[in-house]
Amino acid sequence: MKVSSTKDVSLEILRGFAAKLAPGIEVEVDESQIILLSAEPPSWVVFLAEADWWLKVLAVYSALYIAEIVKEAGKATWKGLSNLASVRRKDKLNQLAAEVAELRGHLKDRTRIEIGMPVPNHYFATRLELQGTDPAEIAAQIALFLHHLPALKALIKSESLDKEKVAAGIFLKLRPDGALEVSWHDQETLEKQQRVIPISYEA
């Protein structure tokens, strides 16, 4: 997994983040930070890896989490279920969530923390912003992202979104019911397109 950031984010802090996750989760810090010039330039940290990497490293842990969310489906939103027993497990998913939560405390309030895939490319990628500061809530978001990855990969292929058909990346958003909202702007028309991937209750 590679972590990229804007110039206002400390590389030392990101190196420390990577060191805490090693060797279980390999994180490469991109030293070439993005410089954005504006009155209040965007600020972000983004963790990108191919879908296969996400699934190989973390899918087994997210499956346990999703199974509990699905079991309790209809009783609350996924946020309401983020205190499930699985979040107290000592595994790679919760370790990553805990370190992301700690990282948040070292960043500016306006700095976005995102995870995703380098599709269609590393700069205009497929991204999901991780909301909040609670490790349990962050773990839930990462688990849902992983849960949706196979269907997201299929959508990207069917819509040819990996063929430079997208104007400025693919934007992901989790709905309260756990469904994944996928949106992008068409490269030629600049019209916004949107699809929704429902949570699979066969998990």
42 inside domain = yes
Express as a percent the part of the chain with pLDDT over 70: 88
pLDDT in tens, 181-191: 999 998 888 89
128 inside domain = yes
172 inside domain = yes
202 inside domain = no
Q: How many domains does the chain have?
A: 1
Straight-line distance from the first to the last Cα atom of the chain, in angstroms, rounded to the nearest whole number: 26
User: What mean pLDDT is predicted for residues 40-50?
Assistant: 92
Q: Are 65 and 143 in contact (CB under 8 A)?
A: yes
How confident is the prediction for the chain on average, in pLDDT? 88
Domain of residue 26 covers 2-197
77 inside domain = yes
Highest mean pLDDT among 43-52, 64-73, 132-141: 43-52
In this prediction, residue 38 has a pLDDT band, given cuts at 50, 70 and 90, of low
Measured CA distances, 6 to 24, 35, 41, 111, 155 (Å): 26, 6, 9, 9, 29
Task: Map tokens 């756990």 to a residue.
Answer: 178
Q: Residue 84 pLDDT more than 70? A: no
